[in-house]
Amino acid sequence: MAGCPLNWALVFAYIISGSQLHAQSEYDLSLILDQDGEDHDLEEDISLLQDLSLDKLASESQLLRRLETLSFLSQQDIEHLSEIEDFSMAHRMVKKDEISDRLRVVLNIILRRDHTTRKQQLRINQYQSFNRDMRYKYKIHYVYPNLDAGMLLERDAGETDVFDHRSFFVTYEKNSVDLFLGDYQIASGYGLLSWSAFPLRKGFESVTSLSRIGKGIRRYSSTHESWGYRGAGVRWTTSFGILQAALNSRHQDGHLDSTGLAIINVSGLHTSARSILEKKKLTERSAIVQWGFDKKYATIFATHTVRHWLYNKSSTELEQGSSIAANVRSGNRSVFGEVAVGFNSKTGCLIGVEWKTKVLHYIFAVRKYSPGFRGIRMNPVAEFHGRTLNETGIFQGFRLRQKRNRLIIYGDMFTRKLPAHTNSNVSSGNEFGLRWEWRKQDRYFKVELKQGISWLEIKAIYPGEYGVGLTRLRQLRLISRMPIFNGQLVKMQVIWQTRDNNEYGNGINLRFSWRNDFVTVALDWVSTKINSSNVRIYFWDVNLPGELITKLYANSGHSIGFKVNYSNRGQFSTGLRIRTQWKDLKLNGKPIISGALYTEVAF
Amino acid sequence: MFLIILFPVKIGFCAFEASPLSSVNIGSGQIHINFNHQLLNCFIDPGSLAGLKTFGIELASAHPFQISGITQETAVLGIPVKDWGFAAGYNSLGNKLYRETTFSLMVGKKFFGQMAIGTSLSYYELHIVNYGSAGTIGLNASLSYNILSNWILVTSFRNINAPRIGSSGEKLPQVVYTGFSAKVNKNVKIQGAWEQDMEFQGAIKFGIMSNFLNHLTVSAGYVSYPAQICAGLQLTLKNLSINYAVSVYQNIGRMSSQLGIGIRIHH
């Protein structure tokens, strides 16, 4: 009976036809947000969104205001959000065609919030990921009226301390004053002085996201171990503008080099002898003050920061940096930018214009970062990232939107002068991308073409000799997402990538997911054919709630992922994900098995 | 040299690796979850003191690896105060030349009606004849909550503060235990857990406990690393319990055993 194929077919037919699928038992945001696997890490945003979606105590306006700190929303999304005062307005907003799909997703998640009569709320998440060793992560989130607090305890695989990484945050909001204790983050202007842990990546999303201005302090659960500030901060909204001030004192892994520059190990891994030796050896002390002006027609922020390091009981000189950032809007046009004087008196600037209508969105931005420019937590849009910046670049792009079709084209040019002691004069390049997208509600089809060319002008050894080292990377991508029945979703992604015509990496990813009120199941298959590790491919892993993990493929092979998650209406949730990976197309050799176990309980 | 080979409870592991457990828990695969409400398990799962309703005292004597001269003695006193549970414990392992002694103070309480949190402060003392003594303090904690009506999830952390002992600063074991216990029916409970020492390979543990017969509880279980087959039993007569457990180490062909006694006083 049990083994009869007809019975199994009937069971399957029942599953795909009989489920009532209204509630979202969990959010696989990589799928919902349609985020590119190569895009910057959104774990902090996912953590915030998860906390907000389960926060039953905050007022509607508080929740909507907190949504504005999500880094993946565009400037236009923020402007739409600022128009919403309560949930009834939000319900009307999600029906409007002019808002972005991301904002619609985020609002829908928040609008599903349950109400409670409780006075406080506690949620505990436990993650245990296994690969060669076990990684532990514990997240605790506590909500009380006007108070939001969290704690993160983590041990990466191979680390010898049970809570190698510990952090906490407390935010308190009352009337016009917001207080921040513990870890916090400052996204200032366009990231020339201080930004989130990952820069905005140049790409299709930049066309709408590049003009987004950072408005200062927000809570930080330190998903990136070394990025957050630690101490206390305050935001005070007055009739003279928004005043923000913060003090930071925290240990960092690393050392000072011979020039007094702090060399920080940002990986957060303490497994090698060197990383253990350098653990928390540096102490960073800093202060940051900001004055801001945020109205419908303009947002302006002026920032000043000072910092010094303590290392082996000696202190470095005080570093100072300042910037002014603005986004001035008039009708459907805006001018935006930031001008900064960095720590060593080097300058950096990013200036752009934007024009947006219901059909067309155009953006043009110029950036120039002097060689050696650096800020306290700088992370602006750039091609070359490092301890210091050095480049000149132009980005422009447009998005055409017509009924179900969208066309996005962007281009970026960049160049930088290399130091005299290297064997090259200049490193330059350009990047171009074209995307056509057809979308109807939850289903869409996309075709993307990208090309990146970079070259190095090699110094002449003999008179008349001149050399250029050229690298060309091309990528074609097809992505399709299709709901097949209520609650079932199929997503397919195919990537063809070449580098200098002789290195290639091709991959296909097929994902099936099914969901009902309580259970989510996902099955994922990836096959790759890659002849060089220079041509790597990224696909999303099967993610448990609160995770947003991409998987990098640098070899030919196959990989199968499976996830199951059970959620008991927000009180208890548990899930398991497993991935088996063969680094051989013929499935030879021992597969690598990795996975994670997750539980969440709310009181 | 002889001592170095024989003393560690887990082969090649460091000082204070062994934590006291009740005989039923040893039998159930050395599970850290205090599913059977025994005071001896509070060293690892102090949160379980939150459910303490009676005064109690439990004593146990173990004979690790059948090695002549090595003994382990444990004693715990439990006191309920309103909805808090307190306990004081003593554990000593070793022989005439080498001895590890632990004094612990433990406390547990329930929060939000369902979540039990407990912590214990331990003083570890190591004594080696002709070499002297060294001591340090360790902090343990545990957290448990019901995930379904008959399922409980327990997470315990040993030595959160990363204590070190002696002039060489030897690190004491830091261990994370994660596991569940489920009541299958009126008489049967099953348990499963993952134990991860931060320095060594992790271990899977699972076991079953049954009290089909009045007054008699039996348990059986398995530990993956080092591989062990375990069994335990407990005879309960009113306020008195007598228990016994064995665990057989498959790789070295040796056996550890424990005999215990417990008294509960209703107030």
3-state secondary structure A228-274: CEEEEEEEEEECCEEEEEEEEEEEECEEECCCCCEEECCCCCCCCHH
Q: Which residue of A has its CA nearest to B112?
A: A603
- Of B3 and A130, the one with more pLDDT: A130
B94 contacts: CB under 8 Å, gap ≥ 6? B7, B70, B71, B100, B127
Q: Which of B152, B155, B177, B199 to mutate to test the interface with A (most CBs of A within 10 A)?
A: B155
Pick from A110-119, A367-376, B100-109: least confident: A110-119
The pLDDT of residue A86 is 84
Of A126, A155, A163, the CB nearest to B155: A126
Query: Min CA distance, B160 vs chain A (Å)?
Result: 6
A122 and chain B in contact, CB less than 8 A: yes
Q: What is the pLDDT of residues A13-37, one digit of tens each?
A: 433 333 333 333 345 566 556 666 5
The answer, yes or no, to whether residue B259 has pLDDT greater than 90, is yes
Look at B162 and A162 and tell me if their CB atoms are within 8 Å.
yes
Number of Cβ within a 10 Å radius of residue A76? 20
Q: How confident is the model at residue A460 (pLDDT cuts 50, 70, 90)?
A: low
Q: A163 and B160: CB-CB below 8 Å?
A: yes
Burial of B74 (0-12, 13-18, 19+ CB in 10 A): buried
A162 to B114: CB separation less than 8 angstroms, yes or no: no
Interchain contact, B178 vs A574, CB within 8 Å: no
**A162: nearest CB among B143, B176, B194:** B176
pLDDT score recorded for residue A271: 85
What local confidence, expressed as pLDDT, does residue A22 receive? 32
Residue B251 three-state SS: coil
> Residue B110: its chain A contacts at CB < 8 A?
none
- Spell out the residues 6+ positions from residue B267 whose beta carbon is closer than 8 angstroms to its own: B54, B55
Question: According to the model, what pLDDT value does residue A59 have?
Answer: 81
Interface of A with B in 346-375 (CB under 8 A): none
Please give the share of chain A, as a percent, with pLDDT higher than 90.
45
> Taking CB atoms and an 8 Å limit, are B198 and A162 in contact across chains?
yes
B127-149 core/surface letters (b: 16 or more CB in 10 A; e: else): beeeeeebebebebbbbbbebee
Assign 3-state DSSP to chain B and report helix, strand, coil percentages, each to 5: 10, 60, 35
- Rounded CA separation A110/A103 (Å): 11
d(CA B258, CA B245): 5
Does A602 contact B at CB distance below 8 Å? no
| Residue whose entry in the numeric block shows the structure tokens 């200032």 | A188
Is 80 exceeded by the pLDDT of residue B140?
A: yes
Pick the residue with more confidence: A96 or A352?
Answer: A352
Listed as own residue / partner, the contacts of B253-258 with beta carbons closer than 8 Å and 24 or more positions apart are B254/B65, B254/B66, B254/B67, B255/B65, B255/B66, B256/B9, B256/B62, B256/B63, B256/B64, B256/B65, B256/B66, B257/B62, B257/B63, B257/B66, B258/B23, B258/B26, B258/B60, B258/B61, B258/B62, B258/B63, B258/B72
Between A128, A572, A603, which is nearest B178 by CB? A128
- pLDDT at A169 (0 to 100): 95
For residue A159, list chain B residues with Cβ-Cβ distance below 8 A: 198
Which residues in chain A touch residue B202, judged by CB atoms under 8 angstroms apart? 134
The pLDDT > 70 percentage for chain B reads: 94
Residues of chain A found within 8 Å of residue B114, distances taken between Cβ atoms = 603
Beta carbons of B171 and A122 less than 8 Å apart: no
Task: Please tell me if residue A132 touches chain B, with a CB cutoff of 8 Å.
Answer: no
Please give the pLDDT value at position A36: 64
Mutate to test the interface with B, among A162, A271, A597 (most CBs of B within 10 A): A162
Confidence tier at B120 by pLDDT (50, 70, 90)? very high
Whether residue A128 and residue B174 make contact (CB cut-off 8 A), yes or no, is: no
Average pLDDT of span B119-133: 92
Choose among A122, A160, A599: nearest Cβ to B147. Answer: A599
Residue-wise pLDDT tens digits, B53-62 = 899 999 999 9
Across the interface, which of A124, A134, A574 has its CB nearest the CB of B202? A134
Query: A159 touching B, CB under 8 A?
Result: yes
- Residues of B with a Cβ under 8 Å from any A Cβ are 111-115, 143, 145, 147-148, 153, 155, 157-160, 162, 171, 174-176, 178, 194, 196, 198-199, 202
Q: Cβ A162–B175 below 8 Å, yes or no?
A: yes
A136: nearest CB among B153, B171, B176: B176
Interchain contact A574–B (C-beta under 8 A): yes
Residue of A nearest to B115 (CA): A603
Inter-residue contact B122 to B104 (CB < 8 Å): yes
Residues A160-164 have a mean pLDDT of: 87
Whether residue A408 contacts residue A434, with contact meaning beta carbons closer than 8 Å, is answered with yes
B chain contacts of residue A134, beta-carbon cutoff 8 Å: 194, 196, 202
Distance from CA of A105 to the nearest CA of B (A): 29
Q: In the predicted model, what is the mean pLDDT of residues A504-526?
A: 92
CA pair distance B151, B179, nearest whole angstrom: 10
Q: Do A574 and B147 touch (CB under 8 A)?
A: yes
Residue B193: is its pLDDT beyond 80? yes
Give residue B59's pLDDT.
95
Q: Coil, helix or strand for B249?
A: strand
The nearest CA of chain B is from the CA of A139 a distance in Å of 13
> What's the gap in Å between the CA of B10 and the closest CA on chain A?
18
Contact of A86 with chain B, judged by CB distance below 8 Å, is answered with no
Cβ <8 Å between A601 and B145? yes
Cβ neighbours of residue A131 under 8 Å, at least 6 residues apart? A157, A592, A594
**Going by C-beta distance under 8 Å and a sequence separation of 6 or more, which residues neighbour residue A196?**
A44, A71, A185, A187, A227, A379
A494 part of contact set with chain B, CB < 8 Å: no
Name the residue facing B157 among A122, A134, A162 (closest C-beta).
A162
- For chain A, the average pLDDT equals 86
Q: Are A485 and A16 in contact (CB under 8 A)?
A: yes
pLDDT level of residue A62 (50, 70, 90 thresholds): confident
Say whether A574 and B155 touch across the interface (CB within 8 A): no
**Predicted pLDDT of residue A462:** 65
* Cβ neighbours of A603 in B, within 8 Å: 111-115, 145
The answer to whether residue A6 scores a pLDDT higher than 60 is: no
CA A505: distance to chain centroid?
Answer: 25
Tens-digit pLDDT profile for residues B43-52: 999 999 998 8
Q: What is each CA distance from A301 to A78, A328, A399, B56, in whole angstroms? A: 16, 11, 28, 65
Q: Tell whether A599 is within 8 A of chain B (Cβ).
A: yes
Q: In whole angstroms, what is the distance from residue A426 CA to residue A419 CA? A: 9
Report chain B residues whose CB lies below 8 A from the CB of A163: 157, 160
CB atoms inside a 10 Å sphere around CB B66 = 12
Q: How many CB pairs (< 8 A) connect A and B?
A: 52
**Cross-chain CB nearest to A122 (options B112, B157, B171):** B112
Structural contact between residues A156 and A135, judged by C-beta atoms closer than 8 angstroms: yes
pLDDT at A65 over 80: yes
Contact B178 A126 (CB under 8 A): yes
List C-alpha distances in Å: B234 to A109, A239, B27, B44, B211. 52, 73, 10, 20, 9
CA B105 to chain centre: 14
Residues 498-527 of A with CB under 8 A from B: none
By the 8 A CB rule, do A299 and A75 touch? no
Query: Average model confidence (pLDDT) for chain B?
Result: 89
Spatial distance between the Cα atoms of B47 and B85, rounded to a whole number of angstroms:
9
Q: Chain A contacts of B148, Cβ < 8 Å?
A: 572
Q: What is the pLDDT at residue B28? A: 94
User: What token pair was written down for A489?
Assistant: 């979703």
CB contact under 8 A, A122 and B115: yes
Identify the closest residue of chain B to A159 by CA–CA distance: B198
For the segment B140-159, the average pLDDT, to the nearest whole number, is: 91
Note the pLDDT of residue A168: 95
Q: From chain A, pick out residues whose CB is under 8 angstroms from the CB of B158.
A: 162
User: From CA B157, how far away is CA B155, in angstroms rounded?
Assistant: 7
For residue A166, give the chain B residue with the closest CA: B160
Query: A140 and chain B: CB distance < 8 Å anywhere?
Result: no
